[in-house]
């Protein structure tokens, strides 16, 4: 299994590209424009959601503790458009992340070390996917950059699924092989009922039957968007037991 090992600078660089693209899409769309990939949401709802997620990330990483702080989602300030409020919080968060010690204690929702490095990664991927949502609303959706999308696939597999954040509960048993054609990366994931385990390629053919029962091939962007519930797995090349793919979705 080959996976991108991101750094704070990599994720901040991604944020510097994705954040302005999100803001531009929000500014272009009429406020009540439906977000087709987030049923029931308007562009205003989407902008407020991402802005509040920035406030939350800033709260967590500045708390100086591995304990979960209390969350308070703020209301939009009077006199600011959704795009303006977003830009205000984006600028603040970039400043916090630039000065951030990745090894500092900071709570996160995953079964992994409670360190601040979690949050630039999480926010970069949250922003990239919602940028895609916002651009889709104005019929201008562009793929997520291949290296960033590949790290987003890894985040789903090493963070979201182990944290139990599937869209729907269920029992799945088998191995899924994901292949990103434009990023020279692939992943083997073993589903064990409600549990999951990332596998190294060297362990696929040990004493148990680890043959992949489903294989999904496509661009890194399409793989990530499928895992996050934005596009159908029908957009990719699928072989084997398609039912296993229901156990991979973490977004709707």
Given a contact cutoff of 8 angstroms between Cβ atoms, the answer to whether 224 and 244 are in contact is no
Given a contact cutoff of 8 angstroms between Cβ atoms, the answer to whether 188 and 201 are in contact is yes
* Nearest-angstrom CA–CA distance, 165 and 226: 15
Percentage of residues in the chain having pLDDT higher than 90:
84
DSSP 8-class letter at 64: -
Give residue 115's region: left, alpha or beta (phi > 0; psi -120 to 50).
Answer: beta
Instruction: State the pLDDT at residue 2.
Output: 45
User: Which pLDDT band holds residue 199 (cuts at 50, 70, 90)?
Assistant: confident
* Nearest-angstrom CA–CA distance, 241 and 141: 30
User: Which pLDDT band holds residue 5 (cuts at 50, 70, 90)?
Assistant: low
- Mean pLDDT of the 158-186 span: 92
Model-wide pTM > 0.85 = yes
Q: Indicate the pairing of strand 172-180 with strand 214-218.
A: parallel
Q: Which domains, ranges and CATH numbers included, belong to the chain?
A: 8-142 (1.20.120.450), 147-247 (3.30.1050.10)
- Mean pLDDT of the 93-117 span: 96
């Amino acid at each position: 299994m080959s996976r991108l090992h991101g750094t704070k600078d990599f994720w901040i660089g991604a944020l510097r590209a994705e954040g302005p693209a999100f803001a531009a899409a929000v500014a272009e769309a009429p406020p009540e424009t439906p977000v087709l990939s987030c049923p029931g949401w308007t562009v205003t709802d989407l902008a407020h959601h991402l802005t509040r997620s920035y406030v939350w990330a800033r709260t967590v990483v500045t708390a100086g503790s591995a304990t979960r702080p209390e969350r308070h989602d703020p209301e939009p300030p009077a006199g600011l458009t959704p795009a303006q409020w977003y830009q205000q919080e984006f600028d603040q968060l970039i400043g916090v992340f630039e000065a951030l010690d990745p090894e500092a204690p900071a709570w996160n929702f995953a079964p992994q070390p409670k360190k601040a490095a979690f949050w630039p990664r999480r926010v970069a991927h949250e922003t990239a996917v919602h940028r895609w949502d916002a651009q889709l609303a104005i019929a201008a959706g562009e793929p997520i950059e291949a290296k960033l999308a590949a790290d987003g696939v890894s985040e789903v597999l090493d963070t979201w699924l182990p944290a139990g954040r599937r869209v729907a509960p269920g029992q799945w048993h088998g191995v899924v092989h994901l292949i990103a054609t434009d990023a020279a990366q692939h992943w083997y994931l073993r589903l064990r009922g409600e549990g999951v385990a990332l596998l190294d390629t060297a362990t696929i053919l040990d004493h148990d039957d680890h043959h992949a029962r489903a294989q999904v091939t496509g661009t890194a962007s399409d793989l990530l968007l499928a895992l996050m519930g934005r596009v159908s797995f029908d957009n990719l090349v699928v072989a084997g037991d398609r039912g296993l793919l229901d156990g991979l979705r973490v977004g709707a």
